[in-house]
């Protein structure tokens, strides 16, 4: 009798440990590369009675974006120093003391349901001679939709804009935005729950079979 029980306790223990390892692997983060170039249009709206504070609405399209994320939309706040030509941007309006303003965002998406969502922090330098602005910074992922629902990580973001010949910042600004780097995803919680459920059912079935076999041997 003792032999019959020890014969199946060890395999079940091994199965349990093995399932735990597999579940851990299933929820491990997966690193994914990303790169895209977007032709963009940026509309700047200066906020009255402030020291150069502004709101920027961005839209653009790409022909080379990975995963079909061929469109970009964004709302970013900023401040322009007219004496130095420096722009500071952030999707967080409270950085500029704009309490109660809607939170900004950056969204990469396409014709399907996949998307990446996040925030940005940027700085831009104006070339007054050539009437251009070079912007660099980071795009911090806070999630996504469909395959990228649990996306996280930080991507590099750079932008090159061509200003109006009369330096009229109220007119839409054409530019190119490049996003690149590596981000992480994890399986949806429902997927992990399903894996755990399958494992528990499998172990339970094996236990019942072993118990039935032990009873027959004892009889």
Sorted by sequence, the CB contacts under 8 Å of residue 92 that are 6+ apart come out as 77, 103, 104, 119
Q: What mean pLDDT, rounded, does the chain reach?
A: 84
The pLDDT of residue 29 is 81
Q: Which of 106, 183, 194 is nearest to 148 (CA)?
A: 183
The pLDDT of residue 214 is 56
Which stretch of DSSP H or E encloses residue 12?
Answer: helix 2-26
Higher pLDDT, 191 or 92: 92
Which stretch of DSSP H or E encloses residue 103?
Answer: none
Measured CA distances, 178 to 36, 62, 188 (Å): 6, 10, 29
pLDDT tens track for 55-107: 999 999 999 999 999 999 999 999 999 999 999 999 999 999 999 999 999 99
Measured CA distances, 182 to 22, 31, 151, 171, 200 (Å): 24, 6, 11, 34, 35
The pLDDT of residue 17 is 47
The pLDDT of residue 187 is 67
pLDDT tens track for 13-68: 444 445 455 544 445 689 999 999 999 999 999 999 999 999 999 999 999 999 99
What is the gyration radius of the CA atoms in the chain, in angstroms? 27
Measured N-to-C along each axis, helices 189-218 and 2-26 cross at an angle, to the nearest 10 degrees, of 170
């Amino acid at each position: 009798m003792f032999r019959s029980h020890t014969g199946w306790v060890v395999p079940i223990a091994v199965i349990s440990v093995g399932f735990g390892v597999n579940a851990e692997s299933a929820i491990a983060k997966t690193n994914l590369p990303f790169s895209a170039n977007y032709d963009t249009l940026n509309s700047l709206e200066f906020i009255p009675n402030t020291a150069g504070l502004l709101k920027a609405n961005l839209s653009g399209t790409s022909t080379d974006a990975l995963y079909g994320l061929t469109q970009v939309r964004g709302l970013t706040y900023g401040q322009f120093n007219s004496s130095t030509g420096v722009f500071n941007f952030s999707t967080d309006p409270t950085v500029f003391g704009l309490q109660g303003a809607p939170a900004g965002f950056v969204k990469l998406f396409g014709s399907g349901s996949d998307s990446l969502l996040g925030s940005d922090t940027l700085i831009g330098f104006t070339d007054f001679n050539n009437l251009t602005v070079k912007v660099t910074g980071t795009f911090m992922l806070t999630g996504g939709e469909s395959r990228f629902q649990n996306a996280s990580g930080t991507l590099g973001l750079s932008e090159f804009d061509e200003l109006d010949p009369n330096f009229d910042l109220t007119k839409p600004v054409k530019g190119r935005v490049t996003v690149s780097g590596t981000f992480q995803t994890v399986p949806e919680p429902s997927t992990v729950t399903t894996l755990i459920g399958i494992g528990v059912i499998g172990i339970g079935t094996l236990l019942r079979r072993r118990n039935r076999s032990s009873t027959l041997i004892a009889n």
